[in-house]
Structure 1
Amino acid sequence: MATLPPTQAPNATEYAGDEINALILDPGSHSIRAGFAGEDVPKSVVPTSYGQLPSGERVFGENAVHLPRPDLDIRNPYDADGIVEDWETASKLWEYTITSRLIGARQTAPSKNGLNDGKDEQGDVDMAAEIEALEEQEKLLQEFPLLVSEPPWNPKKERERTIELAMEDWGVPAFFLAKTGQLAAYSQSKATALVVDIGARNTSVTAVWDGMVLGKSLHHTHLAGDWLTNQVRLMFAQQQPPVPLIPHYMVKSKTAVDANAPSSATYAKYPKPPTSSFHLQEEDRVLAAFKESVVQAWQGPGRLDSPAGQGNVTNSDYVKSIPPKPFELPDGWNTVFGLERFRVVEGLFDPAAAYTSPSIPKPNSDTSIPSIINKALQSVDVDSRPVLLNNIILTGAGSLIDKLPERIQADVQALYPNPKVRVLAHSSSVERKYGAFIGGSVLGSLGSFHQMWISREEYAESGRGVVEKRFELLKPTVYVPPPTKTRRTSTATKTNKPKPEKLTDEQLATLQASLFEQSRQKLNPTQVQHEDVMELSPDNIIKHLESELTKTKSRIAQLEGQEAAAVGHVVQAREEKSKVQQTLTNLRKTLLSRDQSIKRLQEKNAKLEAEVQQQKHIIAMLEAQVEELRRYSHGLRYQHAQASDFHNNIISNLQTEVDSLTAMVEEAKKHI
Structure 2
Amino acid sequence: MAYTSPAVVIDNGSQTTRAGFASEDFPSLVYSSNYSVDSNNKVVIGDDEIDKHPENEIMTLLDNGLVYNWDNVIHNWQYAYDNLDSSSPIDPKEYPLMLTEPSWNTKKNKLISTQMAFETLEVPIFSLVKTPLAQLFHQSKATGLIVDIGSAITSITPILDGIIQTKAAMHSKYAGDFASLHSLNYLSQKVPSLDHLLPKPFISDLSNLKATASFKNFQITNKVVEEFRYSMLQVSELPATASHFSAPAKSFYLPYGENVQVQQEQFSLLEPLFQPSAFQLPNLSIPAPAFDKPATQGLTHIILSSLKALEASIIPQAVLENTANTSANSSHHARFNDILRELLSNILITGGTSLTPGLTQRVLHDLYKSVNQFFPNYLCTQPGRLVLNVLGNNQTNGNDVWDKKFGSWIGACNLASMLNSSNQENDNGASIALDNWYITKSEYEELGEDLILEKFK
The TM-score, its normalising length taken from structure 2, stands at 0.80
How far residue 66 of structure 1 moved from its aligned partner, in angstroms, is 1.8
**Matched position secondary structure for 1:424:** coil
CA distance in 1, matches of 2:263, 2:134: 37
CA distance in 1, matches of 2:278, 2:193: 20
Instruction: Give 1:72's aligned residue.
Output: 56
**Matched position secondary structure for 1:35:** strand
Instruction: Please say which of residues 366-375 and 41-50 is displaced more in the overlay.
Output: 366-375
Q: Does 1:24 align with 2:5?
A: no
Instruction: Give 2:414's aligned residue.
Output: 442
How far residue 94 of structure 1 moved from its aligned partner, in angstroms, is 1.2
Instruction: Give 1:399's aligned residue.
Output: 354
CA 1:294–1:53 in 2, change beyond 3 Å: closer, same or farther? same
How far residue 195 of structure 1 moved from its aligned partner, in angstroms, is 0.5
- Post-superposition Cα deviations, 1:209-244, rounded to whole Å, max 9, x if no partner, equal 112211112100000111111010122245699998
| Equivalent residues of 1:78, 1:84 under 8 A apart | yes
CA 1:46–1:431 in 2, change beyond 3 Å: closer, same or farther? same
CA distance in 1, matches of 2:387, 2:195: 45
When Rg is computed on C-alpha atoms for both structures, the one with the higher figure is 1
Instruction: Give 1:420's aligned residue.
Output: 387
CA 1:104–1:166 in 2, change beyond 3 Å: closer, same or farther? farther
| Equivalent residues of 2:152, 2:175 under 8 A apart | yes
Which of 347, 359, 373 is equivalent to 2:303? Answer: 373
Amino acid of the structure 2 residue aligned with 1:281:
F
CA distance in 1, matches of 2:125, 2:250: 50
Which of 283, 286, 310 is equivalent to 2:224? Answer: 286
Which of 127, 131, 143 is equivalent to 1:176? Answer: 127
CA 1:333–1:104 in 2, change beyond 3 Å: closer, same or farther? closer
CA distance in 1, matches of 2:451, 2:103: 18
How far residue 159 of structure 1 moved from its aligned partner, in angstroms, is 0.6
> 1:502-581 counterparts in 2 under 5 A?
none
Amino acid of the structure 1 residue aligned with 2:60:
N
Q: Does 1:387 align with 2:342?
A: yes
CA distance in 1, matches of 2:302, 2:132: 15
| Equivalent residues of 1:390, 1:422 under 8 A apart | yes
Which of 167, 184, 202 is equivalent to 1:216? Answer: 167
CA 1:175–1:404 in 2, change beyond 3 Å: closer, same or farther? same
CA distance in 1, matches of 2:107, 2:194: 45
| Equivalent residues of 1:74, 1:277 under 8 A apart | yes
Instruction: Give 1:410's aligned residue.
Output: 365
The number of equivalent residue pairs is 395
> 1:130-209 counterparts in 2 under 5 A?
140-209=91-160
- Post-superposition Cα deviations, 1:390-425, rounded to whole Å, max 9, x if no partner, equal 111011112111111111111122221423222335
How far residue 44 of structure 1 moved from its aligned partner, in angstroms, is 1.0
CA 1:402–1:241 in 2, change beyond 3 Å: closer, same or farther? farther
How far residue 332 of structure 1 moved from its aligned partner, in angstroms, is 2.1
Instruction: Give 1:328's aligned residue.
Output: 253
CA distance in 1, matches of 2:355, 2:249: 19
CA 1:240–1:461 in 2, change beyond 3 Å: closer, same or farther? closer
CA distance in 2, matches of 1:91, 1:158: 13
- Post-superposition Cα deviations, 1:638-661, rounded to whole Å, max 9, x if no partner, equal xxxxxxxxxxxxxxxxxxxxxxxx
Instruction: Give 2:72's aligned residue.
Output: 89
CA 1:250–1:368 in 2, change beyond 3 Å: closer, same or farther? same
CA 1:282–1:146 in 2, change beyond 3 Å: closer, same or farther? same
CA 1:29–1:241 in 2, change beyond 3 Å: closer, same or farther? closer
CA 1:329–1:55 in 2, change beyond 3 Å: closer, same or farther? same
| Equivalent residues of 2:110, 2:456 under 8 A apart | no
> 1:48-59 counterparts in 2 under 5 A?
48-59=33-44
How far residue 182 of structure 1 moved from its aligned partner, in angstroms, is 0.7
Q: Taking CA–CA contacts closer than 8 Å with sequence separation of 6 or more, which of the two structures ends up with the larger relative contact order?
A: 2
User: Gaps (5+ residues) in structure 2?
Assistant: 290-295, 315-335, 373-380, 422-428
Amino acid of the structure 1 residue aligned with 2:260:
T
Amino acid of the structure 2 residue aligned with 1:421:
L
CA distance in 2, matches of 1:269, 1:338: 30
CA distance in 2, matches of 1:65, 1:281: 10
| Equivalent residues of 1:20, 1:37 under 8 A apart | no
Which of 38, 53, 62 is equivalent to 2:47? Answer: 62
How far residue 272 of structure 1 moved from its aligned partner, in angstroms, is 5.0
Instruction: Give 2:22's aligned residue.
Output: 37
Q: Does 1:271 align with 2:196?
A: no
The TM-score, its normalising length taken from structure 1, stands at 0.56
**Matched position secondary structure for 1:304:** coil
Identity of aligned residues (%): 29
Instruction: Give 1:304's aligned residue.
Output: 240
CA distance in 2, matches of 1:211, 1:165: 28
| Equivalent residues of 2:170, 2:302 under 8 A apart | yes
How far residue 326 of structure 1 moved from its aligned partner, in angstroms, is 2.2
